[in-house]
Amino acid sequence: MSETRNLFRNTAAQSLPIATTSLFGLILAPIMLSRLGLAQFGVWAVTGALAQYARLLDLGITNSISRFVALYDAEGDRRAIEETIAIGVIAASAAGLLAVIAAVLAAPLVQDVLGVISVGEMRVVLVSAAGITASYLIAAVIGAIPIGLREMAPPNVAATVGNVVNFIFSLGALAFSTSLGVYALANLAAGIIGLALAIFALLWVWTAPFLRRPSGGRSRAIVGFGLKSQLVTVAQLVNAQTDKLIIAAMLGPRTAGAYELGNRVVQGVFSIGVLSISALIPTATADLVKRGREVIVEYLERYTIRSLGMALPLFGAVCVSAPYLLQAWLGEIPEDSVAIIVLLSFAFAVNMSTGVAMTLVVADGAPGLVAQMAGVLVVLNVGATLIAAPIFGLWGVLVATAVAQVVTSAAFLVRFHRRYSLGMGPFLEAVAKPAAVTVGLAVPYGVWYLTGASAPDGRFLALIGLALTGGVYFVCCWLLESRWEMLPDRLSFGSVRRRVVRARSSTA
């Protein structure tokens, strides 16, 4: 029980930077559109996607560090932790340097494809994006120590403060200039401050020495694990970023900007949805060392239904309220944006259904299975998108993304259950319950829109409509899932009501 409470506290800590990133991104989007225009917004989306790909240069080591820290901590091997962090710092620094060099050299080519801004300003934007990537990678390695030790509050508080700094710097840049280059430099400055905050959080929870020269065996083990898990990162980037690059190249930066608006909404929901499993890898890794593979069955059943119980209603709420949400957020409903939100929500919801299983495989030290399926997803998604985009335009991109996700998720689940000799029944039941609530409550809204209902022009009325559609829908899902025990206990209606009653009693 204490381990469960600790996992909940760590998950709550992990939610701070994720929630603020999503919130600030939603707030900044209409301001960026107003100050920079849709074309420059599209350029920023594309350069951001390129920067995300630059993170692959670390060979997957950065994302693997917290797992190894948790493993060696459970074994009581401090020396191994120090060697692991040294490997991570080397990989992150090398990746950041290569990203900056690539940004300098690629500026003319990117400007030739996208246009909109000059070569000089494009170089500033790309180098800034590469610098942000370098800062993020090094900060991620530093933050992996307390995260691997399951002391997640300090690094996540630091990351949250870094997000606030980034938000303030972004607002300042947009207030004083309509140049994308100025906005990029402001974000770079915020990234450097975020790195300093990560170092301070490390000093708060851990003492020197921090690094130790790694042995050859340790290096090979961590690099090998990172390379296998890297395909998972590639697949995530394909889902989140590659479509923007293809759209920009084939359909133009304005269409890429419109796609980014819908994608930003869905990514925000997805980020919130994964909070329920964000702290699972180091916790499950340590538990596997202590208790063995019985952890796999226990965690799979418990956390699949709870993670989907949190995530699916969020996707559903965004879909049923999409016209009102866009009108209230942007003051307009960009063409095809509602369809983008609905289809991407479906694709990411399917991805969420495999989240716990994939996390457990990685925690068990076998990322190869996840990597293989991620490789299949990359081939399917990119191949289908390149074929469909010239023929069907934006719709082809969306449908290709959704179909690729469904096929690879199904294939992974079959292999996962075979690996651990599990029946599919408990998993299907864990998925079916929250899915039934989510889809069942959405049907009346779908019928209502088919009758011709649409969002009003004004933002105030759209906000009211947002509350009456997405708000009411989400509350109904919450009540039903609480009644049928699909949510973490602390988030259920009964638990929240008891805490409210106690709080009122203590103040009376």
% of the chain beyond a pLDDT of 70? 90
Q: Cβ(354)–Cβ(366) under 8 Å?
A: no
Q: What is the DSSP string of 413-482?
A: HHHHHHHTT--SHHHHHHHHHHHHHHHHHHHHHHHHHHTT----SSHHHHHHHHIIIIIHHHHHHHHHHH
- Higher pLDDT among residues 443 and 455, named by residue: 443
| pLDDT score for 2 | 46
Task: Give the tens place of pLDDT for each residue, 35-51.
Answer: 888 777 777 777 777 77
Does pLDDT of 255 surpass 60? yes
Task: Give the tens place of pLDDT for each residue, 276-301.
Answer: 665 577 777 778 877 877 788 888 88
- Whole-number Å distance between alpha carbons of 378 and 131: 26
Task: Give the tens place of pLDDT for each residue, 75-114.
Answer: 788 888 888 888 888 888 888 888 888 888 888 887 787 7
Provide the residue ranges of all domains of the chain, joining segments of one domain with +.
2-486
| pLDDT score for 48 | 75
- Whole-number Å distance between alpha carbons of 454 and 445: 11
> Which tokens sit at 70?
């948790």
Q: Please state the rounded mean pLDDT for residues 241-254.
A: 69
Does pLDDT of 402 surpass 60? yes
| pLDDT score for 317 | 93
Does pLDDT of 304 surpass 70? yes
Q: What is the DSSP string of 39-75?
A: HHHHHHHHHHHHHHHHGGGGTTHHHHHHHHHHHHHHH
- Whole-number Å distance between alpha carbons of 48 and 42: 10
Does pLDDT of 371 surpass 50? yes
- Whole-number Å distance between alpha carbons of 484 and 313: 14
Does pLDDT of 56 surpass 80? no
Q: How far is CA 12 from CA 300, 354, 443, in A?
A: 20, 21, 32
Task: Give Cα 12 to chain centroid, integer Å.
Answer: 15
